A = this chain, B = another copy of it.
Amino acid sequence: MKTAKTTSLDIAAIAGVSQSTVSRALRNSPEVSAETRRHIQRIAKEMHYTVDRNASRLRAQTTNTLALLFCEDEVETHINPFFLSILSSAAHTAASRGYDLLVTFQQLSENWVEDFQDAHRADGLILLGIRDRASYDAQLIELVESGTRFVIWGLEHQVPGVSSYVTCQNQESAKALTAHLIDLGHSSFAFIGRTSTANPEFRHRYEGYLEALADRRIHTDADLHIPANSSEAEGYEAVESLLSTGRPVDAIVCASDLIAVGAIAALNDHGLAVPENIAVVGYDDLPIAQYMRPALTTVRQDTELAGRRLVEQLIDLIAGEDVEPDELPVNLMIRRSCGAGA
């Protein structure tokens, strides 16, 4: 089964060159003649030889690895499937750029700098799922101080040369979505989603929502903003608490699709039809959104692009280049749940 390991020395012996030349040829060094390179690469292929990553990384003092950290802020029963899509895109991009992608699910308590940078496990970090900015401040500061390169999804945090971020046009899109609801004739609005200073994406969406209302002189007040984290369960509860206030509402803007799914279930269970009695819109365009009945009006984020940009930015940071944060464009997906559309 396990035969003695094939090393670059073996290849060198067979090819009749030195081990250094083998090393160069396999890394496509221009120092090596084209003919020699082809010869060596052919032999390596025949022998199923592959460079030992540990040795090359140790010697070159690099890792060629990116770490993707899912940050689990709170007890979370399940993760937004939205992230799986980003992960897939990030993994593809990393692979095509020659990087390995280490995936971990992190608790706040862990020491990222020691675990990844100091241990030479990764050249940089991709942070997903940070919702509560405040609780991560200490971590982020430590990352910056240690010179660890990192990029964040959804949280605007940039230190030139060290960190960057990718987010989407949360505010503009939420404003446009709300304006669309107003155009459809809705006039009593509620918003579901926690928007503490800690949760930047939801906050931006809420601000866009408020802007749209203000533009049209539509009144709303604090009672009609129900906090909720991104889960069906909290969306469900939020609607129950909204209904218990007895306030009349004809449109609910949810900060995420998961919240919208829970909200619609609760409305159903209380005998309220969507969109006939109450319009509901979400955010994310999860796959389920177009297959729910009524289909969910929502905002589509380009997860493929998001994952790719996160990796590309990080690789650029690692290379010492300056990077510009990305604010990705989004698409309104108008469906039946808002009371119009297909």
Binding site for B on A (CB under 8 A): 1-2, 6, 48-55, 57-58, 63, 68, 70, 78-79, 81, 83-85, 87-88, 91-92, 95, 100-105, 113-115, 118-121, 147, 232, 236, 258, 261-262, 264-265, 268-269, 287-288, 290-293, 295
Contacts and interface: CB of A to CB of B under 8 A. Distances in A.
Q: How many copies does the complex hold?
A: 2
Nearest to A274: B293
A52 B113 CA distance: 13
30 contacts: A2-B147, A48-B114, A48-B118, A50-B119, A52-B58, A52-B120, A54-B54, A54-B57, A54-B58, A55-B58, A68-B103, A70-B91, A79-B84, A79-B88, A81-B81, A84-B84, A84-B87, A87-B103, A88-B105, A91-B103, A91-B104, A92-B105, A100-B121, A101-B102, A101-B104, A232-B288, A261-B291, A264-B293, A265-B292, A268-B293
A221 to B, nearest CB: 28
A268 B293 CA distance: 7
Contacts of A264: 293
Contact of A51 (B53, B79, B119): B119
A121 B63 CA distance: 11
Contact of A121 (B53, B88, B232, B261): B53
Contact of A104 (B51, B95, B287): B95
**A54, A63, A87, A293: which has the most chain B beta carbons within 10 Å?**
A54
Given A1-B147, A58-B55, A119-B53, A265 B293 contact: yes
Nearest to A45: B114
A261 B261 CA distance: 13
Contacts of A120: 52-55
A36 B70 CA distance: 37
Contacts of A57: 54
